[in-house]
Amino acid sequence: MNTDHLFRLDGRVALVTGGSRGIGRMIAAGFVAQGATVYVSSRKAEACEETAAALGERCHALPMDVSTVAGCRALAAALGEREQRLDILVNNAGAAWGVPFTDFPESGWDKVMDLNVKSPFFLTQALHALLRAGAAAHPPAKVINITSVDGLRLNPWETYSYQASKAALIHLTRRLAARLVEDGIHVSSIAPGAFASEMNRAARDHGDAVAKRIPARRIGEAEDMAGTAIFLASRAGDYVVGETIAVDGGLVNASLGGGIDA
């Protein structure tokens, strides 16, 4: 068995939404390092351009707001003007909202649900033809949804729509996988735990304190996220379909609950 190229992405074309910072940028950097051509997209054009410049000549900015169906279709059209196929789509753009139960607003519910659940579906739909073209030219095309451990377990914060949205996206990942595998497109998801980012300010600003509650005793690093995404995107992950991988230092599956004295 020759494993020299098992994790390589040479010649592959990838699109990472929310790719200008945080987890999206970690994934984009990993893909570029493995030889892929990567488009990073987010609402802020300047942030996209800065990330593309930092990651090198194989990384390109493609700014777009994917919080609406129209924005999803516009991004797909813009990519179609530049590429004839798409091999890897990472649905990473997301939002959170935390407000006490009695005050939680409809706007906070709708914004999070639209961006975290609706947009991944409609962007994947809009890019379906390009993904099928990628699958036809290569081994399977890949769709990687970025979910969260908060879709697998409860957290103590009153982020009602966020937790519900991530649980929904995990199930949507399985449903999309069942349909798109027919077209040679393999769908899976990564459920991150504590990674330093604008969305996870606790991990960013209080990493040492957060680490004490994690079995691995540290927060996630860029290589942890990039490595998992590379695995799923490359030949190494071709037989993984519909799965959600928790990348969380054991928080979901290796954390003991509090005991109850008899």
Angle between helix 119-126 and 128-137 (nearest 10) = 60
What pLDDT is recorded for position 101?
97
**Per-residue confidence at 153, pLDDT binned at 50, 70, 90?**
very high
**Per-residue confidence at 213, pLDDT binned at 50, 70, 90?**
confident
C-alpha span between 233 and 131 (Å, rounded) = 13
Q: Does pLDDT of 143 surpass 90?
A: yes
C-alpha span between 60 and 73 (Å, rounded) = 19
pLDDT in tens, 82-96: 999 999 999 999 999
Helix, strand, coil shares of the chain, percent, nearest 5, are 45, 15, 40
> What would the two tokens of residue 97 be?
């909202």
pLDDT in tens, 92-127: 999 999 999 999 999 999 999 999 999 999 999 999
Average pLDDT in the 70-85 region? Answer: 98
pTM of the model as a whole: 0.94
Token pair 């994690």 in the structure block, residue? 214
**Per-residue confidence at 259, pLDDT binned at 50, 70, 90?**
very low
Angle between helix 22-33 and 222-233 (nearest 10) = 60
What pLDDT is recorded for position 257?
66
Among the listed residues 39, 160, 162, 239, the single catalytic one is 162
pLDDT in tens, 190-200: 999 988 766 66
The answer to whether 39 is a known catalytic residue is no
SS3 197: coil
**Per-residue confidence at 256, pLDDT binned at 50, 70, 90?**
confident
Q: Which residues face 188 on adjacent strands?
A: 144
Using a 10 angstrom Cβ sphere, with 0-12 exposed, 13-18 middle and 19 or more buried, the burial of residue 35 is: middle
What pLDDT is recorded for position 197?
67
Question: Are 79 and 67 a contacting pair, CB within 8 Å?
Answer: no
Amino acid at 256: L
